[in-house]
Chains A and B, each alone.
Chain A
Amino acid sequence: MIRDRGAGPTALAADGAELAAVSPRLRHRLRLDGIVRWALLGAFAAVFFPLFDMIYWVSVRAVPKFTLATFTEYQVGNAGGLAAMIEGTFVLIGLATAFATSIGLIAGIYTAEYAPPAVARIGRLAGNVLAGIPAIVIGYFGYFLFALYTGWGYTTLGGALTLSVLMVPFVYRTADLAFSSVPASQREAALALGARRHQYLRRLAWPIALPTVLTGVFLAMAIGLGETAPLVYTAGWSNTPWTGLFSPTSFLTGAIWLFYEQPPTLGALLTLAFQAAFLLIVIVVALNLGLQWLADRYRRRLRGLGA
């Protein structure tokens, strides 16, 4: 793409003095351009100052109080650590990612490769719509379906299933995109050599699509990790060691939601909430960097294919 910068009159602006002598109106226009350029940058300050402020305060509240016990002990009353929440988060995200990836990947491949165009269009639209449904609405849905109708009550499995509904569209849309954007030349070459569809998919399309599919999975994990509303009424809460799929579980975001209003007399709980927030930020940053790395790799790979 063409960047507007450095072209047009601006390129001549190095000789600003001469130009200004030529036309006061041009001088005015160039000055306006300069002002706008810096004013727009101000928006970044307005956005990133809060981001850094948040990271700073969460770190200040959380980091000095980290001990080994934070990770190994279970919270009891106004003491203990985040062991139960960390366990629960891993189990929930692991299960939900497994569910969401299997459904999203299969639906994505079918949408990209097999479905008739009209059906594919509806599928994609529905995927985007599903991503736009508020998390709390999914929470109500999960509460009725997985806690009441099944008779399970609050369970880890119910929480993971509810969470996966929220994560599916991200895996689905990226998988669809990944398989749709395999270069046509590659596909034609495979089919011309007599490859069957599944051979083409497995041997040729899959390696090319994998990095994009993985970005989708990573993103879905980041989304799932940050959700609170769908879990509170499906996974319930438990600050004891995790005992199984059909028992309730706690999770990091839930710790923040439960403890954020605790009075100073229960300061340890507020600290736990901030520590949970810190851990979440660290994981999200790691996932984001992973995403970026995958995206770069993918770009290089596609370029190698001469797409």
Chain B
Amino acid sequence: MNITSLLAQDQTPSSFSLLPSDQSKWLLIVGTVLVVSILLFLLTRAPSNMRRPVVVSITFIAGFLYFLEWVLPKYRITEEGQEVVRQWFFGLSYDYSETVPILSRLSQLLTGILLALGVFSIFRLHVRRLLKRDPNWLFSLVLLSSLIAMAYIGFSKFGMERSVEYRLMTEEQLKATNMYAAYDLLFDKGLQTLDAAMFSLIAFFILSAAYRAFRIRSIEATIMMAAALLVLLSFVPLGIALTSWINPDSVAGNLRIESVGQWILLKLNTPALRAIDLGLGLGVFAMGIRIMLGLERGVSVD
């Protein structure tokens, strides 16, 4: 396989495939950035009584775009499967549904910019601590060195993966490179292991939280303790053995510990969780309407 055919396989368009020679694309990008910057600057300079209607309108339109995408029909179900209807209103509706994901990429762009701000915030905080020799300056040093090392290795690996030499390597050759070894050490053997260590702590925290919660202090705590005990027993062989003498096919079979445990889980616990879920669903629904209409005077409008 030669280099030209390898490069020809790279059909995925990305911002990195944009070459500096492509003047019109650059012009478009610079123009868009300029126009958006001017609009944002004007918005920040505008008095708050003028700014509010603009922000409310943009919020409403943005929310309404997604609502329309959900409601408008796109695909028709036929005997063979799904098909796109491209006539009249339905054609427009399909085109619209194809456009909305492109618009949603704008928010991804914004998140990317804000991530840079976030990293800058971490950097500033810990550099300051380091320079001031804060009592915990050693933690800041570890954080900054990890941040720089991980970013350097990550970007280098990304660059390496786009090179032609990389594509010609076998898996064994790849694993033998210093870059691969460094990435493996930092990410797979370092970060992933630390994540697993934190996750394993949960087992101990569950024990300490359960100890406090199950102390019998009130009638509610007593009911919870009893229910928990029954459910726990219904899952262990020792618990099941306690009532194994009851005939499972008789009416009394309902009093076997595994039946009681299942009954608590399915008939008491699940409906309660579903009721909370229903409340949450309706709550977020009303909240969405309040944000779209600009009634929520929290972070969204002021």
A binds B: no
Spell out A's residues near B (CB within 8 Å): none
**A-binding residues in B (CB < 8 A):** none
